[in-house]
């Protein structure tokens, strides 16, 4: 089947943005302008006149919590937040508007897939796969239709790793372990959450900064970060070490964040939900923005990338492996309940419902800090659009967020509703930058694709996957990005004018790093004594993953 | 080979029954399944399928219930329930909801088994001998990790434990203390103890005060008291309070229901006890209970039907009610023991997923590990469900 998309305004951040035709042939883009001899006037060719429309590649969310234990824990904790079709008409206050159009901050898999597709997203990455729950995470993501998915493996609090670092094992042993874990759990990157801090909390240590000693293992987060950054580099993972820094949400935590950057000694590093990690201690409430400090550092360091984790006002739920800091925020939970879990000598989990308010000083400040980061970091290929779904806001806030970035006046309209002390101290009004549509496309398509190592998508270049989205052009970007006219996945029309078609083929993005066969034997005994089960039990084989996804099409990192 | 039903908790060397929430389901060797399978392989009966489909499609009220062990079957059951606007409750005896309800009201602190065995130095076990009858080798498992050998572990048994139960904890190498008491009084007593001045020393009170990580273990099925969920809620509040100064968490051992609940939660947003209305799940943990659904059959207008799925060889009947026993509500049974829709044992005869190592439910059995004689070529419960109502 050949599909000719005619007269669309094509934007991909690679070529010139212009009106032209794009031809989809099979699962790939065949041409982005010229006429294919094979397709010319072919009877099997389907043509769409897309005059007045914009054509981009499918969106990629490189940090969204859509699978694994903590998401289910959040669902379990908060049944009262679910709005079914009957209650939805009754609950229209700000608290619930933030969730709209989702039925809950953590909806079921079908709804997650539908809403992502409805915004034009075709690939999403779960950024915190606990090794012990990896099978669950993959099964859940397999049930999330229309999306290619992948996972980042949690490793910064793995007790075996911490023990080996303490023992001073050679780096190649750590490299082999990381590679083995990535392959065994079918993930594509390594995630660190509060390096060593989750484990330290299990020993009743209530804080752990980058150069503090873990009370039991007597090692520092700096050592953990460096070891893992080297491992990621040396085993050849495309995505850099994906780091949730120490001191999440703590006033003055910019110092920890800069120390984290320094810990990897110039190696590639991705700082995730950076908005939660760049606070100073100044200002009328002892809490201030340090966005300029972090943005300057990112701008001057090509080894760094960030995603923002922008918050949006209203009800959501925060879920994180960072048990230490989630516990310290327990009294802020709204509704007033929380779940904390300590899991399998590998990590933990803290789930707190949260309600961000316009008129609350800190909440307003965090909102401005996120936007500051977006506006101060110059290269849209190194700052990515995320809300850390659902921690800052549900992912459905993206169109609104895009409007905030593209319109100074609109941004200031919301800013005027914030706490007066925020308005008095924030530098946001001085940032008059307005994102162009090319920049939005880079930060939501091309940039994430390259950051995760997907060379086959993110642009409209011939040979790339035919995952493309058609938006009806509109002066209001929120309207435009909230509801595409058409979405194609692998050349198949899967969404058109508010209607979802049958789910199409799915891929699980996995890294094919090489592993040392000796590691298997080495781990077998350790696993048995430490966890009580064998490595055979935990390993997810390729054929099993394909069975989970049913129509899986393995996509390899290049 | 790994145990198909509690791989995290079983003894791979001997295949002995070790730790499994429902012992009758603990099929620790394929041989046992083979013995249970005497009949030749059944083939799909189109007539039976058509009759069952007609029954379900002509029913105004449908209950889907049973013992679902695999993610695949949970998926199929939920999909069918969505199409038929059925009620779904697979919480056998409601035991899991004794824990779920207080969690939904107040949250909780919990610890997984692997973490507890590696980390906790004090176990507070509340209940009676049914803890060890349900989980026979729990003491050994909690004492067997490398790290745990560095610290002498202590177990405090609260409730009604026999001499032999106490000995089994001692034999595992734990300092064992037993305080006989009424279970009803335990949360209040713990709260009171927390407020008291703590003596230091080697006696029990001193040992408790010095604990660095306490894991509190109870088995919901042993709580035979009214409002057990409120009892658990109070215990969870005590655990939360302990964490203000030290570390403490509840150790909830999972059962076969866990795999259904996890899959149901990600598919619908709820852990079960739902009724689909126009394809949308409505959750009501006090209303959409299978026993209540059956008991209220007389009050409903229209036809009712039950779809019972049992992927185990459990000897105990799942449905015990005057209606189902008397046959007044038509029932389609997909089970390992059924002659009409016999399904394979998930994890033993067909592949199933042990998808959470921290709450091991059902291990995946690879095709080469599954014996291949023709008598084993039974459809899975998921296979049957996919054929129903199509």
- The percentage of residues in chain B with a pLDDT greater than 90, rounded to a whole number, is 45
* Element at A244 (helix H, strand E): strand A241-244
Query: Cβ A337–B75 below 8 Å, yes or no?
Result: no
The single residue listed with the structure tokens 């389609």 is B332
Q: Does the pLDDT value for residue A443 go beyond 60? A: yes
**CA angle (A298, A300, A305) in 5-degree steps:** 30
Separation in Å, CA of B108 to nearest CA in chain A: 5
Distance between CA atoms of residues B160 and B162, nearest Å: 7
pLDDT, one tens digit per residue, over B352-377 is 655 454 554 444 455 444 444 444 46
More confident residue, B208 or B387: B387
Q: Does the pLDDT value for residue A92 go beyond 90? A: no
More confident residue, B92 or A151: A151
Separation in Å, CA of A529 to nearest CA in chain B: 5
Confidence of residue B342 (pLDDT cuts 50, 70, 90): confident
Query: Cβ B8–A533 below 8 Å, yes or no?
Result: yes
Cross-strand pairs, A3: A24, A46
Cβ neighbours of B109 in A, within 8 Å:
339-341
Beta-carbon contacts of A509 under 8 Å, excluding residues fewer than 6 positions away, are A123, A125, A148, A149, A150, A188, A452, A454, A555, A557
pLDDT, one tens digit per residue, over A300-309 is 999 999 999 9
pLDDT, one tens digit per residue, over B183-193 is 999 999 999 88
- Give the closest of B212, B269, B355 to A107, CB-based: B269
**A with B: how many residue pairs have Cβ under 8 Å apart?**
171
pLDDT, one tens digit per residue, over A312-359 is 999 999 999 999 999 999 999 999 999 999 998 899 999 999 999 999
- Enumerate domains of chain B plus CATH numbers: 23-94+257-387 (3.40.50), 111-251 (3.40.50)
Confidence of residue B131 (pLDDT cuts 50, 70, 90): confident
Distance between CA atoms of residues B311 and B70, nearest Å: 8
Distance between CA atoms of residues B324 and B308, nearest Å: 11
pLDDT of res. B380: 86
The winner for highest mean pLDDT among A209-223, B186-200, B249-263 is A209-223
pLDDT of res. B322: 60
pLDDT, one tens digit per residue, over A100-119 is 788 899 999 999 999 999 99
pLDDT of res. B21: 35
Separation in Å, CA of B110 to nearest CA in chain A: 5
More confident residue, B98 or B143: B98
Beta-carbon contacts of B262 under 8 Å, excluding residues fewer than 6 positions away, are A72, A136, B71, B355, B356, B359, B361
pLDDT, one tens digit per residue, over A489-502 is 999 999 999 999 98
Confidence of residue B145 (pLDDT cuts 50, 70, 90): low
pLDDT of res. B14: 42
Distance between CA atoms of residues A221 and A197, nearest Å: 8
Q: Is B270 on the interface with A (CB under 8 A)?
A: yes
Report DSSP state, residue A344.
T
8 A C-beta contact, residue A269 and residue A345 = no
Cβ neighbours of A201 in B, within 8 Å:
247
Confidence of residue B340 (pLDDT cuts 50, 70, 90): confident
Q: Is B203 on the interface with A (CB under 8 A)?
A: no
In the 3-class helix/strand/coil scheme, how is A482-549 assigned residue by residue? HCCCEEEECCEEEEECCEECCCCCECEEECCCCCCHHHHHHHHHHHHHHCCCCHHHHCCCHHHHHHHH
Confidence of residue B132 (pLDDT cuts 50, 70, 90): confident
pLDDT of res. A112: 97
pLDDT of res. B198: 66
Confidence of residue B8 (pLDDT cuts 50, 70, 90): very low
What is the torsional sign of CA A38, A41, A44, A50? positive
Among A13-17, A165-169, B38-42, name the one with the lowest average pLDDT. B38-42
pLDDT of res. B2: 37
Residue of chain A with shortest Cα separation from B114: A344
8 A C-beta contact, residue A529 and residue B149 = no
pLDDT, one tens digit per residue, over B266-277 is 999 999 999 999
Distance between CA atoms of residues B288 and B91, nearest Å: 11
- Give the closest of A136, A345, A544 to B118, CB-based: A345
- Give the closest of A80, A136, A345 to B262, CB-based: A136
Structure-block tokens of residue A313:
């006002």
Report DSSP state, residue A318.
E
Pairing of β A383-384 and β A304-307 = parallel
Q: Which of A315, A282, A279, A292 is nearest to A390 (CA)?
A: A315
DSSP conformation letters of A170-195? -HHHHHHHHHHHHHHTT-SEEEEEST
3-state helix, strand, coil in chain A (%, to 5): 40, 20, 40
| CA-to-CA separations, A393 to A130, A315, B69, B197, B313, in angstroms, rounded | 22, 8, 35, 45, 46
- Give the closest of A85, A132, A338 to B358, CB-based: A132
The CATH homologous superfamily of the domain defined by A2-57+459-500? Urease, subunit C, domain 1 (2.30.40.10)
- Give the closest of A110, A532, A536 to B114, CB-based: A532
Q: Is B108 on the interface with A (CB under 8 A)?
A: yes
Where exactly does CATH 3.20.20 map onto chain A? 59-452
Question: Taking the mean position of all CA atoms in its chain, how far away is CA B151?
Answer: 31
- The percentage of residues in chain A with a pLDDT greater than 70, rounded to a whole number, is 92
Confidence of residue B71 (pLDDT cuts 50, 70, 90): confident
Cross-strand pairs, A468: A57, A488
DSSP conformation letters of B237-251? HHHHHHTTTSEEEEE
More confident residue, A428 or B201: A428
Among A65-74, A85-94, A320-329, name the one with the lowest average pLDDT. A85-94
Count of helices and strands (H, E) across chain B: 15, 13
Q: Does the pLDDT value for residue B203 go beyond 60? A: yes
**Average pLDDT of chain B, as a whole number:** 80
Domain A59-452 has CATH 1.10.8: no
Confidence of residue B168 (pLDDT cuts 50, 70, 90): very high
Q: Which of A458, A450, A453, A447 is nearest to A512 (CA)?
A: A453
| CA-to-CA separations, A525 to A345, A487, B9, B146, in angstroms, rounded | 16, 49, 16, 11
Q: Does the pLDDT value for residue A460 go beyond 90? A: yes
Q: For residue A193, report the phi and psi dihedrals to the nearest 5 degrees.
A: -115, 120
- The answer for B 73-92 residues in CB contact with A (under 8 A) is 75
Q: Does the pLDDT value for residue A299 go beyond 80? A: yes
Where exactly does CATH 2.30.40.10 map onto chain A? 2-57+459-500
- Strand, coil or helix: B24: helix
Cross-strand pairs, B350: B346
More confident residue, A84 or A325: A325
Q: Does the pLDDT value for residue B214 go beyond 70? A: yes
Distance between CA atoms of residues A366 and A391, nearest Å: 12
């Amino acid at each position: 089947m050949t599909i000719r998309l005619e007269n669309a305004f094509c934007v991909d951040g690679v070529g010139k943005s212009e009106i032209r035709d794009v031809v989809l042939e099979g699962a790939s883009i065949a041409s982005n302008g010229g006429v294919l001899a094979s397709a010319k006037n072919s009877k099997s060719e389907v043509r769409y006149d897309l005059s007045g429309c914009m054509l981009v590649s499918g969106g990629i969310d490189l940090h969204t919590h859509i699978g694994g234990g903590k998401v289910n824990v959040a669902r379990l904790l908060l049944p009262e937040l679910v709005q079914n079709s009957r209650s939805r008409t009754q609950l229209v206050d700000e608290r619930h508007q933030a969730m709209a159009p989702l039925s809950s901050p953590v909806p079921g898999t079908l709804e997650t897939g539908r809403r992502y597709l409805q915004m034009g997203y075709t690939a999403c990455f779960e950024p915190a796969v606990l090794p012990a729950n990896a099978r669950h995470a993959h099964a859940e993501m397999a049930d999330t239709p229309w999306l290619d998915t992948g996972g980042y493996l949690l490793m910064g609090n793995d007790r075996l790793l911490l023990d080996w670092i303490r023992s001073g094992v050679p780096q190649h042993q750590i490299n082999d372990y990381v590679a083995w874990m990535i392959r065994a759990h079918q993930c594509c990157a390594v995630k660190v959450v509060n390096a060593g801090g989750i484990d330290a909390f299990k020993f009743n240590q209530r804080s752990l900064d980058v150069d503090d000693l873990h009370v039991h293992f007597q090692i520092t987060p700096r050592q953990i970060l460096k070891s893992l950054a080297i491992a990621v580099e040396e085993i050849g993972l495309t995505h850099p070490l994906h780091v949730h820094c120490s001191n999440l949400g703590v006033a003055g935590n910019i110092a920890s964040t800069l120390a984290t950057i320094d810990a990897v000694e110039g190696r590639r590093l991705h700082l995730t939900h950076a908005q939660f990690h760049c606070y100073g201690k100044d200002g009328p409430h002892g809490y201030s923005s340090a966005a300029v400090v972090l943005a300057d550092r990112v701008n001057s360091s090509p080894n760094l990338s960030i995603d923002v984790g922008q918050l949006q006002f209203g009800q959501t739920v925060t879920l994180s492996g960072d048990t230490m800091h989630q516990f310290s925020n327990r009294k802020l939970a709204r509704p007033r309940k929380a779940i904390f879990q300590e899991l399998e000598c590998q990590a933990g989990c803290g789930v707190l419902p949260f309600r961000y308010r316009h008129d609350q000083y800190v909440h307003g400040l965090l909102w401005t800090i996120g936007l500051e980061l977006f506006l101060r970091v110059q290269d849209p290929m190194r700052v990515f659009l995320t809300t850390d779904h659902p921690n800052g806001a549900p992912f459905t806030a993206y169109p609104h967020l895009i409007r905030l970035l593209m319109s100074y006046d609109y941004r200031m309209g919301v800013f005027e509703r914030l706490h007066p002390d925020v308005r008095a101290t924030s530098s946001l009004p001085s940032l008059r930058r307005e994102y162009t549509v090319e920049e939005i496309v880079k930060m939501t398509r091309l940039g994430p694709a390259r950051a995760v190592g997907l060379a086959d998508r993110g642009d409209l270049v011939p040979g790339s996957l035919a995952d493309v989205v058609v938006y009806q052009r509109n002066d209001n970007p929120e309207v435009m990005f909230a509801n595409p006219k058409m979405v194609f996945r692998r050349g198949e029309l899967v969404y058109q004018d508010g209607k979802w078609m049958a789910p199409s083929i799915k891929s699980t993005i996995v890294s094919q790093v090489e592993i040392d066969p000796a590691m298997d034997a080495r781990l077998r005994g350790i696993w048995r004594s430490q966890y009580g089960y064998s490595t055979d039990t935990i390993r997810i084989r390729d054929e099993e993953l394909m069975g989970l996804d049913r129509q899986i099409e393995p996509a390899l990192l290049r | 080979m790994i145990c198909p039903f509690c791989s995290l908790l079983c003894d791979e060397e001997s295949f002995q029954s070790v730790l499994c929430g429902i012992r009758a389901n603990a099929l620790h060797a394929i041989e046992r399944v083979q013995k249970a399978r005497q009949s030749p392989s059944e083939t799909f009966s189109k007539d039976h399928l058509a009759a069952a489909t007609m029954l379900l499609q002509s029913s105004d009220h449908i209950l889907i219930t049973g013992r679902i062990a695999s993610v695949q079957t949970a998926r199929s059951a939920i999909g069918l329930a969505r199409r038929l606007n059925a009620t779904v409750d697979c919480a056998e005896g409601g035991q899991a909801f004794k824990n779920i309800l207080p969690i939904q009201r107040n949250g909780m602190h919990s610890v997984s088994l692997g973490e507890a065995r590696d980390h906790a130095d004090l176990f507070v076990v509340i209940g009676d001998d049914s803890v060890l009858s349900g989980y026979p080798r729990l003491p050994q498992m909690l004492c067997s990790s490398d790290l745990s050998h560095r610290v002498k572990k202590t177990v405090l048994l609260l409730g009604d434990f026999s001499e032999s139960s106490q000995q089994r904890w001692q034999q595992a190498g734990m300092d064992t203390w037993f305080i006989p008491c009424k279970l009803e009084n335990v949360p209040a007593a713990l709260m009171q103890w927390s407020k008291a001045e703590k003596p230091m020393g080697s006696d029990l009170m001193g040992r408790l005060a010095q604990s660095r990580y306490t894991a509190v273990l109870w088995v919901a099925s042993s709580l035979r008291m009214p409002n057990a969920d409120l009892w658990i809620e109070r215990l969870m509040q005590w655990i939360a309070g302990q964490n203000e100064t030290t570390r403490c968490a509840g150790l909830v051992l999972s059962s076969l229901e866990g795999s259904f609940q996890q899959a149901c939660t990600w598919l619908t947003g709820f852990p079960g006890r739902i009724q689909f209305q126009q394809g949308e799940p409505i959750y009501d943990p006090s209303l959409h209970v299978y026993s209540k659904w059956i008991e209220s059959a007389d009050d409903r207008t229209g036809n009712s039907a039950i779809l019972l799925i049992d992927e185990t060889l459990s000897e105990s009947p799942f449905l015990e009610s005057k209606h189902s026993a008397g046959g007044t509500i038509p029932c389609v049974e997909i089970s390992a023991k059924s002659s009409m829709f016999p399904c394979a044992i998930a994890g033993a005869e067909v592949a199933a997923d042990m998808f959470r190592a921290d709450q091991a439910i059902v291990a995946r059995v690879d095709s080469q590990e599954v014996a291949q004689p023709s008598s084993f070529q039974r459809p899975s419960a998921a296979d049957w469900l996919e054929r129903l109502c199509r």
